[in-house]
Each structure stands twice: as structure tokens, then as C-alpha cells.
Amino acid sequence: MSSEIIEQLYVEDEEMADSNLQFNLIHYLVALLRFVYRAEGWFISGNLKILPRSGPRYTFANVAPDIAFFKGVVLSEDDQNNLTSWDMKQPNRPAPAVVFEICSEATWTTDVLPLMKPDFYRQLGVKEYFTFDPQGFWTNETRRLRGWRYPATDGAVELVADEQGRLWSDEMESWLVPDGVNLWLFDHHDNRRLSEAETERQAREVERQALVELRQKLRDKGYDPDNF
């Protein structure tokens, strides 16, 4: 990787100012992944600096993916809170299985150019890399979602979306589905994966609808539901 590319990546991570849209999407996806994989307890981070296991550290200076999914890694809440970086030279510090980058005005070019972040994360040891453009910075692209998978051999395989524009993640066992400025996850059965907040809202709506139906049944039987 050339010194110019390294410098550009470094400057982006130092100076990038997230849009509110980007900020909200990152936090939604982190919360969603933590809730979906709560039983496994896998570690999901946002903007955590990652230091490589080998090679010159400056090559990966200040790499802090928007979202990193550490499949198989379980950390206590205290350990997570005390992390200031993820040093892969330490024991039990693998590369993240999946990385997400949500495009911003500062990063949209390096997020997708072949010799930049797609190759950058391959060198780090990531298994899958996804990038999403919620604001339409990819002016020559009709897709807002792109992804790469890194096989055991060297190289990167760009994933091909299905007819609905979805990409499948082997690591997360989920479909990634772009929807305007939103990015959803769906399971094998095409059920949208919900965050904890969405699950609670859905439960409240089911309860509200059940109450509405009960009140209507009482009215149909000639009862006043307010005095029942």
C-alpha cells in the first residue's frame, strides 16, 4: 500500500466529521447486532482503533471501522468499557470477522476503490467487508450497498447482489437489505431482524391492537368497555 494511500486513510479517520444520518445509522446497526447476537455475547464495536498482528503499524495507522463484528469473541462489560484500541498482537485478539463502513463525504472514495479499504481490510484479516452509501455519494453507481468476501487464498471477491439488491453475509447468516437511507438485516426466512427497541415497540403495538379488538368485541356484545 502506497504512502499516499496510507496518508489519505489516516487523514480521513482523524478528520472525518460524521453526518447525523451516518451517525444514527452506525449506532442503530451496532445496537441491532448486539441485540441479535446477545445470546452468543459476541463483541461488536463502533469506531474502535485496530492495530494489526504483524507488519508495520503505520500501515494501519488509526484504523477505526465504523462497525466491527468480532464473531466468537466474548468480553465482559468491564473489559469492553476499558478498551481504548484492539491490539491484535495481544492474545485472543483476532481480526473482526465483518467490518462495515457507512460512507461519508470524506470517505466515500476510499471505501470502495479496490486498492484502498477493500484491500486494506483483506490485509488485516477481515472475512467480509460491507460498505453502504445512504446519501448517494457514489454518483456513478445505482447500488448503495457493496460487499467483499475474502477467501483463504489471497484476493478479494466482490459479492453480487440478488435481484432485490440484497447481499448475503455468511458470517452473520443474514441478508443485508438497502432501503433508501436505511440498511436492514433479514434472516434465512426473510424476517427482518429487530433491535431491542424495535422489539419492545412491536410488543407494545401487539398489546395495543389486542386491547382495541377486545374493546370492540365488548361493544359488539352491548357492553361499555369503559365500565367493564
pLDDT for 33-63, tens place per residue? Answer: 999 999 999 999 999 999 887 765 445 556 8
Three cell numbers, residue 4: 499516499
Give residue 8's pLDDT band: very low, low, confident or very high (50, 70, 90): very low
| Separation of CA 12 from chain center | 19
Residue 35, pLDDT score = 95
- Asked if pLDDT for residue 82 goes beyond 90, the answer is yes
Residue 224, pLDDT score = 75
Mean pLDDT in the chain?
A: 84
Q: What is the mean pLDDT of residues 186-211?
A: 88
Please state the pTM of the whole predicted model. 0.82
Residue 46, pLDDT score = 93
Is the Cβ–Cβ distance between 146 and 134 less than 8 Å?
Answer: no
Three cell numbers, residue 97: 470477522
- Asked if pLDDT for residue 201 goes beyond 90, the answer is no
Residue 215, pLDDT score = 75
CA-to-CA distance for 157 and 173, rounded, in angstroms?
A: 18
| End-to-end Cα separation, the chain, in angstroms | 74
Nearest to 33, CA basis, from 68, 84, 73 = 68
Residue 95, pLDDT score = 94
The count of C-alpha atoms lying within 13 angstroms of the C-alpha of 200, restricted to the half-sphere facing its C-beta, is: 5
Is the Cβ–Cβ distance between 147 and 117 less than 8 Å?
Answer: no
Most confident range, picked from 16-25, 81-90, 138-147 = 81-90
CA-to-CA distance for 101 and 118, rounded, in angstroms?
A: 10
